[in-house]
Structure 1
Amino acid sequence: MKTIALLCYQNFQILDLTGPMEVFHQLNTLDKPTYRIKVISEPGGLVTASNGLQVATQKWSSLRDCHTLVVIGGVGIEHAVSNKNFLRFIQRHTSRVERMVSVCSGSLALAAAGSLSGKSATSHWRYIARLSELDTSIRIEPDAIYIEDGKVFTSAGVTAGMDLALALVERDSSRQAAMKIARNLVMAYRRDGGQSQYSEKLRAQQCDDDVLSDVCLYIQDNLQRDLRVEVLARRCAMSSRNFSRKFTRIMKCSPGQYVEQRRIERAKDLLNNKSIALKALVEQCGYQNLDVFRRAFYRNVGVSAAAYQKRFGPGATLQQDLGVER
């Protein structure tokens, strides 16, 4: 059996723990016993989550063998990474375990311990900037649900930990077992899209200006339509000049830049998750011209769409004329 140790601290996020833990437990009960699951902390005993729930843990000094170490995220992570013993524990086990995993802001602990140096990683969208501050050598993938680089796995916010746990279950057992667990937990076997599709909609909904909030949501849901500034301004009953000025001031980018960013995010989602014909991809993203799409994608992502899909896609190859690496 594989020992999975989930590392906690005061004010951890309870779903970061219980979400992946339940996925692992499901494999033990629905398929065959595969994991020995342990919840650990430095002192052992009861550890309090950020919502006040207390969880019984074992002392980390009692951990004798460990296949996978999972570092849980939460609002207490900054205090945890200031603890030298906490970082030393992660450093020691980075070289010992078969897999080092972080959920949400748990990636900050891996970064502070040096476990992510020179590696690709992701985190909750709120912690991306902080992750970069801790180790500038990390190749950050801000839109990914989860990232694998060697034996280190990082995941985005909260429920993304369950997505990653499901992927690990598939690796340790079978695709059929992972699909059975996904059905039982009423979750996607493989989630479509990246975390930006959720964070951007939330960003639009939380905008203090109701008019701009509505137009941002309209853009997100109508990328195939005409989204020129004058069209959006008419929806807001404003002149193009006033609309552009207000939008740029509040959203910190121009309307044109916002539309382009949302369209490129849609393109990345399609490339990540589907085998799609070139013409359909361009049309679904709201582009009428292949060359315009190609330039916009490279400008925003830094590689061609073909190169992006080769790295992150499901294995299918786009038509050759989509573009080449420049």
Structure 2
Amino acid sequence: MKLTGSDIHLLSVFDSVVRNDGFSAAQIELGISQPTISNHITALEERLGVKLCQRGRRGFMLTEKGRMVHEIGQALLDGLNTHSAHLAELRGNLVGQLKIAMVDAITTDPGCKLPEAIRSFTQAAPAVRIDLSISNPQDIMAGLLDGSYHIGFGSFDNLVSGLHLTDLYVEPHALYCADTHPFFARKDVDITDAEIEDTPWVHRGYWSQQRMKSYAASDEDRIVRQIESQLMMVLSGGYLGLLPEHLAASFEVDGRLRRMACETFNFGCPMQLIRRSGAVPKVIERFWQTLQACYP
């Protein structure tokens, strides 16, 4: 079939529905009513001759063919956005959308220069729309490869091929317990490394083994996918956890967290900037350079 402008519009509506997991949330992003969205999806199904999704009382669910159509549509829309950016560059304008994804819990990090970079970039390219999202490193890398994101900010273990990465600074991490943990009231000299190893920990699931305990994890250890979730588990008093020092600082002041004296388990987490390998549109390259310039 030969794609038309109407087909591309219908695919973009379908993409919004899938990303928002249903019609209700998609209508906010698209600015159109649910009945209109439903009509668009029906029109796309009739155009393609396939059932894209199940919708009704049981909620929204993609069919297998619907999942395939969405993947094709994403690739098409991403390609159009990239080529549109290149065409705009021919006129010497920085326009379009810049999709940045960052890890969570970094707003308290004095080493994070994203606000300064965004301010500088916005002054130089006011026509560019910045879309800032929070995700975990694995999903950021996947999003960079499929076009969901243009630039990622965080720490990336197990780098996959097709991505380019540069180091920015080091984020210090230390081991903490909460005020309700049995270790909190004990003297440092009375707590052995063996006891620390034997007590339950909470880890981030996206960390490589080097950032977790070097010994075998116990059945009592827990895995989370966000830093905020890890902090919550540590504050529960049931677990030790390696947390960014800047995030734990205010809780230390309030007496809710204690930094463990043992330095064996602490480490410096390299914070990095990541994007697709190869040539990229000028908008992406410009922001990349702007953020790097914040780290002389």
State if a TM-score over 0.5 links the two structures: no
Q: Could you state the TM-score of these two structures normalised by the residue count of structure 2?
A: 0.26
Higher strand share: 2
Higher helix share: 1
Q: Could you state the TM-score of these two structures normalised by the residue count of structure 1?
A: 0.24
Please say which structure displays the higher CA radius of gyration. Answer: 2
Higher relative contact order (CA 8 A, sep 6+): 2
